[in-house]
Amino acid sequence: MRPSAHETTISLMLAVPDTPAAVDWYTKALGARLLWSMGSVAGLEIDGAPFFLHEPVKDRFASPKEIGATTVRVEVFVDKPDQVIARAVAAGATGDEIKDYTVPWGAHRQGGFTDPFGHIWLVGDKSPLNRFPGTPALFGSEP
């Protein structure tokens, strides 16, 4: 993925206890592609969306399994959320119910899973990625 000069990319770095094992799992379970690896740190992408893995650093960066909680949910928006969740569960994730939610813009199909490293992934259709009519413009942008 190569962002243009006018494009911002927001990504995340997940703490995992064993980066090479996590690379293998995300490749198998989510179809991620390895961008690079330095052993304990790696860059991956799914359909052009980058994310990173890093082994914990004492008193600075911990995995959800170490602290018994997670501080972030990974939100993924795809055309076929049911298939993504099923693939992750088949690879060892703990699955969650997928269902249709009634939201102001219509319906939103979403479910999720917890990966073997303790990270919570919510996977839904792409409907929240569009601006909802009537939402005010921010920062002087066009409506």
What average pLDDT does range 81-89 have in this prediction?
96
142: left (phi > 0), else alpha (psi -120 to 50), else beta?
beta
Q: What fold, for 13-127?
A: 2,3-Dihydroxybiphenyl 1,2-Dioxygenase; domain 1 (3.10.180)
Banded model confidence at residue 133, pLDDT cuts 50, 70, 90: confident
pLDDT of residue 4: 58
Domain ranges of the chain: 13-127
pLDDT of residue 100: 95
DSSP string for 7-46 = ------EEE-S-HHHHHHHHHHHH--EEEEE-SSEEEEEE
pLDDT tens figures, 89-108: 999 999 978 999 988 888 89
**Which residues, 6+ apart, have CB-to-CB distance to 64 below 8 Å?**
15, 70, 117, 118, 119, 120
Banded model confidence at residue 7, pLDDT cuts 50, 70, 90: confident
Banded model confidence at residue 135, pLDDT cuts 50, 70, 90: low
Using DSSP's 3-state secondary structure scheme, residue 108 falls into: strand
pTM of the entire predicted model: 0.82
pLDDT of residue 5: 60
**pLDDT > 70: what percent of the chain?**
89
pLDDT of residue 1: 52
* Measured distance CA(85)–CA(18) in Å, rounded: 23
What is Dmax (Cα atoms) for the chain?
Answer: 48
Which has the higher per-residue pLDDT, 5 or 116? 116
Which has the higher per-residue pLDDT, 2 or 25? 25
**112 with 122: CB under 8 angstroms?**
yes
